[in-house]
Amino acid sequence: MKKFIINILVISGILALSACSTSQSLQEYYVDNSENPNFISLDVPASILNLQEADLSKSQRQALESLKKLNVLAFKINSTNESEYQVEKAKVSSILKSDKFVELMKLNSKYGKGVIKYLGEEDAIDEVIIYGSSDDKGFALIRVLGDDMNPAHLIQLVKVLQTSDYNAENLGDIGEFLKG
């Protein structure tokens, strides 16, 4: 009887350990690679967008107020890190395939391919993930963090950003990378 109880405990322990998720979270991926020399890492407050609130509509103002910060992680490919780029690109793709991320849209342009996903409820998003890659430039992974962001309002805010006089140089190396 004692052996039976020990066997049950051992089996229960093994099952408990195997049930624990060993997959890496997006936040862990950021932290793990923030010091990697192949990556450019930057935390950007929403205030860097320098939008004049007076020029914003009510929904655009609500979108701006819902933003907290952006976490940017970019891998710039060169002739010596092509194989590492493929490995890192596969890791990011694996993380983003998780069921907890809801796909908002896919991107496909002459600059590369990408996807926009989010975490949270459809009308109260807490995190938007923008991922884009190009096999000749590298990839960028941007986490837009906020409180109860509304997708419709965010789209309006993106339109304002496109027409604003925002200067990508404020982002330093990331701005240069994103310009191409």
Please, which pLDDT band fits residue 106 given cuts at 50, 70 and 90?
Answer: confident
Report H helices in 67-126.
82-96
Please, which pLDDT band fits residue 144 given cuts at 50, 70 and 90?
Answer: confident
Q: Is the pLDDT of residue 92 over 70?
A: yes
Judged by DSSP in three states, 180 sits in coil
Query: Which of 118, 37, 42, 106 is CA-nearest to residue 78?
Result: 37
CA atoms within 13 A on the CB side of 70: 18
**106 vs 91, residue with greater confidence:** 91
Q: Is the pLDDT of residue 18 over 60?
A: no
Distances, alpha carbon 80 to alpha carbons 34, 84, 85, 111, in Å: 19, 9, 10, 22
Nearest-angstrom CA–CA distance, 36 and 17: 30
| Average pLDDT score over residue span 32-49 | 86
Q: Which pLDDT belongs to residue 39? A: 95
Nearest-angstrom CA–CA distance, 144 and 126: 8
Query: Which of 135, 128, 125, 120 is CA-nearest to residue 70?
Result: 128
Q: Is the pLDDT of residue 7 over 60?
A: no
Q: Is the pLDDT of residue 151 over 90?
A: no
Query: Which of 46, 34, 108 is CA-nearest to residue 74?
Result: 34
Q: Which pLDDT belongs to residue 93? A: 94
| Average pLDDT score over residue span 42-71 | 76
Distances, alpha carbon 10 to alpha carbons 1, 7, 21, in Å: 14, 5, 19
| Average pLDDT score over residue span 91-108 | 90
pTM of the model as a whole: 0.72
- The answer to whether 170 and 70 have CB atoms below 8 angstroms apart is no
Q: Which pLDDT belongs to residue 133? A: 93
